[in-house]
C-alpha cells in the first residue's frame, strides 16, 4: 500500500427545493416552500464535517439543487457568513450557483455576487419553446435568452446547460440551440444527452426520442460546432473557455464535503489512509430536524478512480492514480493493456488518454476496470 496524498478539497451544498419537478429529473428536488431552518441545518451539518478539512483551504464551492437561486439574499448572506467563519477559502476560489431562467431576478443576482458568488450555471436546456414544454421547464425561450444576457452583464464567468436528443428534435434544431448559446458569450457550456433515469416521470411515461444513430450524429455535430468556436472539451459533456475548477476536482478524484439534504461527499482520511463516502438524510424535513450522516469506505477504489478520470478528455498522469488511490498502477496493468489493445486508451508519455473511440464508447472503456 502506497501513501494516499491529500487532494484539493471542494464543498458541495445541496438546496432541494424547486418551483416544479421536471419529468426527467432524478436529483433530490422537492416542490414546496417550507424552508425554515434550512440554513441553520446546513451550518450545523458542516460543523460535523470540519475534521475532514485536515488543514486544507476550500478550492471550490458548488451550490446545486433543486433551484438554489430561490434562496433569499438574507439566507445566502447568512450561509456565507457561516462558511467563512468555519473554512479558509482559496484566494482564487470558484463559487458556483445553479439557477433556473424562470427565477432570474437582476437585483437579487447583483446582491448574490456581492455576497461571494462568482460563477453562475444557468439551466436553459433549450431555446426552443416546444422542447421546453416537453421537458416540463417553467421558463420560455425568451426568458432563457434574457437570463443569459443579464448573467453576462453581472458575472464574468457563467455556464449554460443544454440538452440534446430531445423528443422530435432534429440536428438543425440542436445546432440552433447551441448557436444561440454561443452568441450569448458564456465562458462554459454543458452539452449533454437527455437520458431517461429510473424513478422519474419520463421513466413511467417515456417520450419518443430520436433513434440512437441520430442522437450520436447530433452530439458529434454539436461537439464540432463548440470546438470551432474555441470551447475546449475537457470532459464528456463539459466545454469551456474557462474550465470549471469544481468539475475538474470531481474528475481528478479530489475530495469534497457534501452538505444539505441527500448530499454526498468523498473524503480522504490521511491518518487512516482510506477514502470514505458520506451521505446525508434525503428528505428535507428529516434533514432539518435531525441530519443523519452515513459513511462507508470505498471498496473498489481503482474502479472509482477510473470511472471519474476516464471522463477527462486529456486523460490523467500515471502518478495521479497512485497519489489519489494509494495503489500502484501495476495493479491494473492487465486492464490498461486490454484497453490499449481495443484502441480505447492510448499512452502519451506518462499520460493515459482515452482515444476518440474510447470517448465514443466510454461505458465500455470504464467497465474494463470493474
Spatial CB neighbours of 167, under 8 Å, sequence gap ≥ 6: 131, 134, 207, 208, 209
Residue 32 has pLDDT above 80, yes or no: no
Sign of CA dihedral 244, 248, 254, 257: positive
Residue 251 has pLDDT above 70, yes or no: yes
CA-nearest of 16, 13, 169 to 79 is 13
CA atoms of 188 and 241, how far apart (whole Å): 6
Rg of the chain (C-alpha set): 21
Please indicate whether residue 285 or residue 28 has the higher confidence score (pLDDT).
Answer: 285
The string of pLDDT tens digits covering residues 259-271 is: 999 999 999 998 8
Burial of 252 (0-12, 13-18, 19+ CB in 10 A): middle
Dihedral Cα 148, 152, 153, 155, nearest 10 deg: 120
The string of pLDDT tens digits covering residues 144-196 is: 999 999 999 999 999 999 999 999 999 999 999 999 999 999 999 999 999 88
Residue 33 has pLDDT above 80, yes or no: no
The string of pLDDT tens digits covering residues 112-151 is: 999 999 999 999 999 999 999 998 888 899 999 999 999 9
Residue 1 has pLDDT above 70, yes or no: no
CA-nearest of 302, 247, 323, 332 to 61 is 247
Supply the mean pLDDT for the chain. Answer: 93
pLDDT of residue 239: 97
pLDDT of residue 31: 82
Please indicate whether residue 255 or residue 139 has the higher confidence score (pLDDT).
Answer: 255
Q: Taking the CB of residue 237, how many other CB atoms lie within 10 A of it? A: 18
How confident is the model over 323-345, as a mean pLDDT?
A: 93
User: Domains of the chain, with CATH numbers?
Assistant: 9-249 (3.20.20.70), 300-370 (1.10.10.10)
Report the relative pairing of strands 264-269 and 188-193 from DSSP bridges: unpaired
pLDDT of residue 226: 98
Contact 297, 275 (CB under 8 A): yes
The string of pLDDT tens digits covering residues 201-212 is: 877 888 889 999
Percent of the chain having pLDDT more than 90? 79
CA-nearest of 230, 150, 155 to 189 is 230
DSSP state of 116: T
CA atoms of 9 and 54, how far apart (whole Å): 10
Rounded to 10 deg, the angle between the 318-325 and 301-309 helix axes is 140
Contact 362, 310 (CB under 8 A): yes
How confident is the model over 56-77, as a mean pLDDT?
A: 95
CA atoms of 97 and 119, how far apart (whole Å): 7
pLDDT of residue 21: 80
Instruction: Tell the residue number behind the cell numbers 467563512, with chain if given.
Output: 84
Residue 234 has pLDDT above 70, yes or no: yes
DSSP state of 205: S
Contact 132, 126 (CB under 8 A): yes
pLDDT of residue 24: 78
Contact 125, 135 (CB under 8 A): yes
pLDDT of residue 56: 97
How confident is the model over 39-57, as a mean pLDDT?
A: 96
What three-state secondary structure class fits 95? Answer: strand
pLDDT of residue 205: 82
CA atoms of 296 and 99, how far apart (whole Å): 32
Instruction: Tell the residue number behind the cell numbers 456565507, with chain if given.
Output: 80
Distinct helix (H) and strand (E) counts, the chain: 15, 17
Q: Taking the CB of residue 201, how many other CB atoms lie within 10 A of it? A: 14
Cell of 370: 470493474
Spatial CB neighbours of 218, under 8 Å, sequence gap ≥ 6: 164, 165, 169, 171, 174, 210
Partners of 58 in beta bridges: 9, 89
Partners of 11 in beta bridges: 61, 257
Residue 100 has pLDDT above 70, yes or no: yes
CA-nearest of 181, 185, 192, 248 to 223 is 192
pLDDT of residue 355: 95
User: Strand ranges (DSSP E) for 156-220?
Assistant: 158-164, 188-193
How confident is the model over 264-280, as a mean pLDDT?
A: 92
Amino acid at each position: 500500500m502506497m501513501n494516499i496524498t491529500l487532494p484539493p478539497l471542494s464543498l458541495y451544498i445541496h438546496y432541494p427545493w424547486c418551483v416544479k419537478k421536471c419529468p426527467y429529473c432524478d436529483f433530490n428536488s422537492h416542490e414546496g416552500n417550507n424552508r425554515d431552518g434550512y440554513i441553520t441545518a446546513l451550518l450545523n451539518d458542516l460543523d460535523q464535517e470540519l475534521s475532514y478539512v485536515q488543514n486544507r483551504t476550500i478550492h471550490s464551492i458548488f451550490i446545486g439543487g433543486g433551484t438554489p437561486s430561490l434562496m433569499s439574499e438574507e439566507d445566502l448572506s447568512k450561509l456565507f457568513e457561516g462558511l467563512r467563519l468555519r473554512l479558509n477559502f482559496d484566494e482564487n476560489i470558484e463559487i458556483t450557483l445553479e439557477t433556473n431562467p424562470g427565477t432570474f431576478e437582476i437585483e437579487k443576482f447583483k446582491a448574490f455576487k456581492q455576497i461571494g458568488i462568482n460563477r453562475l450555471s444557468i439551466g436553459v436546456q433549450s431555446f426552443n419553446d416546444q422542447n421546453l414544454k416537453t421537458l416540463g421547464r417553467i421558463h420560455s425561450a425568451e426568458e432563457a435568452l434574457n437570463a443569459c444576457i443579464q448573467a453576462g452583464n453581472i458575472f464574468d464567468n457563467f455556464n449554460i446547460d443544454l440538452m440534446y436528443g430531445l423528443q422530435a428534435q432534429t440536428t438543425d434544431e440542436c445546432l440552433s440551440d447551441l448557436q444561440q448559446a454561443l452568441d450569448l458569450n458564456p465562458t462554459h457550456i454543458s452539452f449533454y444527452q437527455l437520458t431517461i433515469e429510473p424513478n422519474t416521470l419520463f421513466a413511467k411515461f417515456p417520450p419518443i426520442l430520436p433513434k440512437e444513430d441520430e442522437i450520436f450524429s447530433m452530439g458529434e455535430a454539436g461537439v464540432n460546432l463548440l470546438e470551432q468556436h474555441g470551447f475546449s472539451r475537457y470532459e464528456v459533456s463539459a466545454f469551456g473557455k474557462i474550465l470549471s475548477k469544481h468539475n475538474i476536482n470531481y474528475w481528478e478524484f479530489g475530495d469534497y464535503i457534501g452538505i444539505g439534504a441527500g448530499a454526498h461527499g468523498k473524503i480522504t482520511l490521511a491518518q487512516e489512509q482510506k477514502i470514505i463516502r458520506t451521505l446525508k438524510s434525503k428528505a428535507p424535513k428529516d434533514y432539518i430536524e435531525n441530519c443523519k450522516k452515513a459513511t462507508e469506505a470505498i471498496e473498489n477504489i481503482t474502479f472509482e478512480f477510473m470511472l471519474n478520470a476516464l471522463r477527462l478528455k486529456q486523460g490523467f498522469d500515471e502518478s495521479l492514480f497512485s497519489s489519489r488511490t494509494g495503489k500502484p498502477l501495476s495493479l491494473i496493468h492487465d486492464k490498461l493493456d486490454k484497453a490499449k489493445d481495443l484502441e480505447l486508451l492510448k499512452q502519451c508519455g506518462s499520460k493515459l488518454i482515452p482515444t476518440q473511440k474510447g470517448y465514443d464508447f466510454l461505458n465500455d472503456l470504464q467497465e474494463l476496470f470493474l
